[in-house]
Structure 1
């Protein structure tokens, strides 16, 4: 089963691929360090056509935006697998749903000026990104695709959202600085299955990179 993270921008700025790569790597490094894992993960990206295997190199200084018949494929150096990033044009019905009513599914979530700004901007722009992770990915990719979404949300003053079991539904929509404190953190998971999944990923990484030092 594939899971996704949506990113709704809070302003009209589109960061470069280099900005997205750099901030994601910083977030990954911080996460790994917090969990006692000595590893440095480096992100690569290329553009693929959706309907065939054609691939295109990316100018990292160019905006992280592409044609709608393409998707960005993010990988980690030396790691199998990857995550795809797609553009999503918001239809009128969906744009109207991006309001304070969005929080109706989350009774404990208090609307804030930051969230209100995102709703207003996303409705006006009518666009978003989403990151898709297919099942069976290695632990590094499971972790990285969430932080790619968080980094893009931070760079656009936006939010991360998911309703397809990418992580605890009750946590969303999430501001990036909040997301970073609980994503793939076993102690912060609201459900035991997410806690176990995060713990299993961290155990796998700890064993892998401990053995690589020997």
Structure 2
């Protein structure tokens, strides 16, 4: 089983890989510091063709964009595993009757984002989103990091995060990054018992992984 976070930009889409890496490292290390875990997390990335016909290094100063037959693989230096990221168009050109259907459930589930439909109108003009996937069996550090990377992308683009496949408590999405940081992997802020228990278990394993 895998879970995903989708990041919908609102204000801009022209960010660089370096910006994503730098802010994500800052936010991940800050999170671990809050747990009294000494860390100096460094993220590494490369670009894969979807069928693994090639793997390329990434120019960190290039635009945070790649084609739909590629994915970007994020890893934490020294930690096995990682998270794969995809870059896609929002508009479904194959569904003429409802090309923006991706937004319908987001609107229905929204509880915290003000002027949400106006922000969606801005997102439609950008017509791009990113999706970060975490496969089952990843290390605890990766479980935490892929969400924080997602929130960092949202922060850089003035956007929001969405999930509907169990990546986190569905009732809290869509979420802007300042809200996401308040409760993501914060067991005391979680009322879903199973999710709270899983978060506690993951947090307990991070110090061991980062030794």
Q: What's the RMSD between the two structures over aligned residues?
A: 1.7
Determine which of 104, 112, 115 is the counterpart of 2:114. Answer: 112
The answer as to whether partners of 1:95 and 1:122 remain within 8 angstroms in 2 is no
Gaps of 5+ in 2: none
SS of corresponding position for 1:98 = helix
Instruction: Return closer, same or farther for 1:56/1:152 CA change in 2, 3 Å cut-off.
Output: same
Name the structure 2 match of 1:146.
Answer: 147
Deviations 1:105-129 (A, max 9, x none): 35xx15503x334311222222211
The answer as to whether partners of 1:89 and 1:128 remain within 8 angstroms in 2 is yes
User: Following the alignment from structure 2 to structure 1, what is the Cα–Cα distance between the partners of residues 59 and 142?
Assistant: 22
Name the structure 1 match of 2:42.
Answer: 42
Q: CA deviation at 1:88?
A: 1.9
The answer as to whether partners of 1:4 and 1:130 remain within 8 angstroms in 2 is yes
Name the structure 2 match of 1:102.
Answer: 106
SS of corresponding position for 2:100 = helix
Deviations 1:91-149 (A, max 9, x none): 152525536x733235xx15503x33431122222221100000000011101100110
Q: TM-score, normalised by structure 1?
A: 0.90
Q: TM-score, normalised by structure 2?
A: 0.91
Deviations 1:30-56 (A, max 9, x none): 111111111121101100000224100
User: Following the alignment from structure 1 to structure 2, what is the Cα–Cα distance between the partners of residues 110 and 199?
Assistant: 26
The answer as to whether partners of 1:133 and 1:142 remain within 8 angstroms in 2 is yes
The answer as to whether partners of 1:189 and 1:195 remain within 8 angstroms in 2 is yes
User: Following the alignment from structure 1 to structure 2, what is the Cα–Cα distance between the partners of residues 180 and 136?
Assistant: 23
The answer as to whether partners of 2:141 and 2:209 remain within 8 angstroms in 1 is no
The answer as to whether partners of 1:10 and 1:117 remain within 8 angstroms in 2 is no
Gaps of 5+ in 1: none
Name the structure 1 match of 2:88.
Answer: 88
User: Following the alignment from structure 1 to structure 2, what is the Cα–Cα distance between the partners of residues 94 and 73?
Assistant: 29
Name the structure 1 match of 2:175.
Answer: 174
The answer as to whether partners of 2:6 and 2:130 remain within 8 angstroms in 1 is yes
Residues paired across the two proteins, number: 206
The answer as to whether partners of 2:87 and 2:129 remain within 8 angstroms in 1 is yes
Name the structure 2 match of 1:163.
Answer: 164
Instruction: Return closer, same or farther for 1:164/1:178 CA change in 2, 3 Å cut-off.
Output: same
User: Following the alignment from structure 2 to structure 1, what is the Cα–Cα distance between the partners of residues 109 and 182?
Assistant: 22
